[in-house]
Amino acid sequence: MKIIDLSKPIQYNKTDPWFMKVKIKHKPHKKAGLLLRILGLPKRLFPKDFKGWADDTIKKMGVHSTTHIDAPWHYSPTVNGEKAKTIDEIPLDWCYGNGIVIDMKHKQDFDPITSSDIKTFLEKEKLSIESGMIVLIKTGRDIYNGTKDFPDKGTGMSAEATEWLINQGIKVMGIDSWGWDLPLKYLIKKAKETNNSELFWEAHLVGQKKEYCHMEQLVNLDALPYTGFKVAVFPLKIVGASAAPARVVAMID
Span 164-208, pLDDT tens digits: 999 999 999 999 999 999 999 999 999 999 998 888 999 999 999
How many CA atoms within 13 Å lie on the side-chain side of 243?
21
Q: Are 122 and 128 in contact (CB under 8 A)?
A: yes
Residue 35's pLDDT band (cuts 50, 70, 90): low
Would the pLDDT of 41 be above 90? no
- Pinpoint the residues of the chain covered by CATH 3.50.30.50: 68-252
Q: How confident is the model over 31-46, as a mean pLDDT?
A: 73
Q: Are 87 and 242 in contact (CB under 8 A)?
A: yes
Q: What is the pLDDT of residue 49?
A: 82
Q: Which of 246, 253, 181 is nearest to 6 (CA)?
A: 246
Would the pLDDT of 151 be above 70? yes
Q: What is the pLDDT of residue 39?
A: 72
- How many whole angstroms from its chain centre is CA 138? 13
**Greater model confidence, 216 or 50:** 216
The domain 68-252: what is its CATH number? 3.50.30.50
Q: In whole angstroms, what is the distance from residue 230 CA to residue 100 CA?
A: 9
Q: How many residues make up the chain in this entry?
A: 253
Residue 44's pLDDT band (cuts 50, 70, 90): confident
Q: How confident is the model over 238-253, as a mean pLDDT?
A: 97
Span 197-245, pLDDT tens digits: 888 999 999 999 999 999 999 999 999 999 999 999 999 999 999 999 9
Span 76-120, pLDDT tens digits: 999 999 999 999 999 999 999 999 999 999 999 999 999 999 999
Would the pLDDT of 157 be above 90? yes
Q: In whole angstroms, what is the distance from residue 219 CA to residue 5 CA?
A: 8
